[in-house]
Amino acid sequence: MKEYERVLKALANRRRLSIIAILKKRNEATVGTIADSIKLSFTSTSKHLNMLARVDILDKRQQGLEVFYFLGARVPEVARPIISLL
């Protein structure tokens, strides 16, 4: 139950839902691109991305100085129905 709570809390934010919707459309994006898309600072966007990554909704890869985020391969089962609606 506690794991469900963590995942659902991560999804209970309009900015994080927007990030997921963007990544569904684009497959992957840098922190800067996502920040521009949701009209939020780089730092705040990074915090949202890290929260989603901690619950396995997102994965990331680094290429040089840029970090690219994308939907994770191990998205928790409880999150899948919500993500499919975005």
pLDDT in tens, 52-82: 999 999 999 999 999 999 999 999 999 999 9
Residue 10 inside a domain? The answer is yes
3-state secondary structure of 59: strand
Instruction: Tell me what pLDDT residue 65 has.
Output: 92
Q: Is pLDDT above 90 for 30?
A: yes
CATH number of the domain encompassing residue 68: 1.10.10.10
Question: What's the angle, vertex CA 45, arms to CA 6 and CA 23, rounded to 5?
Answer: 80
Q: What is the mean pLDDT of residues 19-43?
A: 96
How is residue 8 written in tokens?
A: 């659902």
Instruction: Tell me what pLDDT residue 23 has.
Output: 97
3-state secondary structure of 38: helix
Residue 82 inside a domain? The answer is no
- Say how many domains are in the chain: 1
Instruction: Tell me what pLDDT residue 1 has.
Output: 84
Task: Give the domain range for residue 24.
Answer: 2-73
Position 3 confidence tier, pLDDT thresholds 50, 70, 90: confident
How far apart (Å, rounded) are the C-alpha atoms in residues 55 and 42?
20
